[in-house]
C-alpha cells in the first residue's frame, strides 16, 4: 500500500506544484493525500484543489490555544492516515509535543545551507551577507527552528551579477528538484537516522 503524504503550506505553493508533478510522473511513488494550510488566501489551496488533493484549512485564530490548534491538525492527519508530513512554506513552528508524536515523519526544505542563515529570510540574508555560495537543505524537523538532521543539501553559487530575485529563482529551481528526491527516499524507506546523521541506504 502506498505511503500517504500531507503537505503543509501557508503561501503560493511552488514546492507543492513540484511535488504534485513528481507524484504524477511517478518520481514520488506515494499518494498526495492532504494539503494543510493555515491561510485561506494561500495560493497552495487552489493548486491542491486543481490536482484533486483534499484541503484542510486550519486557522490559528479559530482556536483559543496553540494546543487546540495542533489538536485539530492531528485529527486531520490521523483521519487521512498520513505517513509523512512535508512542510512547504508553512510559516509556523510546531510544539515539541507534536514533533515528538511524529518523530522523523516531518521534513522541511530551507533555502540555505544549514546551519547557516536560519529563519524566514534566508535568501536575502545570504545575499546581504555577501556569501559566495548558498543553497538548499532538506532536513527532518525537530523542536528547534531549522535544526533537525539533514537529509540532502545542494550548493548554489552566488554570481556577482545576481540580485536577490535571480538568486531566489536559482534556489527555487534546486528546491523543486531536491525536495521530490528527498521525499522519494523517505517513501522507499532508505533514510536511517543516527543522532544528527542521516544515511541513505
Residue 121: active-site member: no
Catalytic residue among 110, 139, 147, 172: 110
Q: Are 135 and 171 in contact (CB under 8 A)?
A: yes
DSSP 123: H
**Helical pair 164-187 and 122-129, crossing angle rounded to 10 deg:** 130
In 3D space, the residue among 172, 74, 62 whose CA is nearest the CA of residue 122 turns out to be 172
The set of long-range contacts for 112-117, using a CB threshold of 8 Å and a minimum separation of 24, is 112/136, 112/137, 113/137, 113/153, 113/155, 114/139, 114/146, 114/147, 114/150, 114/153, 115/146, 115/147
User: Can you tell me which residue has the cell 535571480?
Assistant: 166
Q: Are 179 and 197 in contact (CB under 8 A)?
A: no
Point out the residues that are catalytic.
110
Amino acid at each position: 500500500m502506498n505511503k500517504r503524504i500531507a503537505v503543509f503550506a501557508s503561501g503560493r505553493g511552488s514546492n507543492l506544484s513540484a511535488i504534485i508533478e513528481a507524484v504524477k510522473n511517478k518520481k514520488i511513488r506515494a499518494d498526495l493525500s492532504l494539503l494543510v494550510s493555515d491561510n485561506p488566501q494561500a495560493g497552495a489551496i487552489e493548486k491542491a484543489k486543481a490536482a484533486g488533493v483534499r484541503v484542510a484549512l486550519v486557522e490559528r485564530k479559530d482556536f483559543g490555544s496553540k494546543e487546540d490548534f495542533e489538536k485539530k491538525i492531528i485529527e486531520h492527519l490521523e483521519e487521512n492516515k498520513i505517513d509523512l508530513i512535508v512542510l512547504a512554506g508553512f510559516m509556523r513552528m510546531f510544539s515539541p509535543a507534536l514533533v515528538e508524536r511524529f518523530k522523523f515523519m516531518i521534513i522541511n526544505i530551507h533555502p540555505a545551507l544549514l546551519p547557516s542563515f536560519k529563519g524566514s529570510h534566508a535568501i536575502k540574508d545570504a545575499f546581504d551577507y555577501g556569501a559566495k555560495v548558498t543553497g538548499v537543505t532538506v532536513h527532518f524537523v525537530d523542536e528547534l527552528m531549522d535544526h533537525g538532521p539533514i537529509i540532502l543539501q545542494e550548493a548554489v553559487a552566488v554570481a556577482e551579477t545576481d540580485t536577490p530575485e535571480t538568486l531566489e529563482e536559482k534556489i527555487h529551481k534546486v528546491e523543486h528538484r531536491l525536495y521530490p528526491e528527498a521525499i522519494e527516499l523517505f517513501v522507499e524507506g532508505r533514510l536511517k537516522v543516527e543522532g544528527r546523521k542521516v544515511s541513505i541506504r
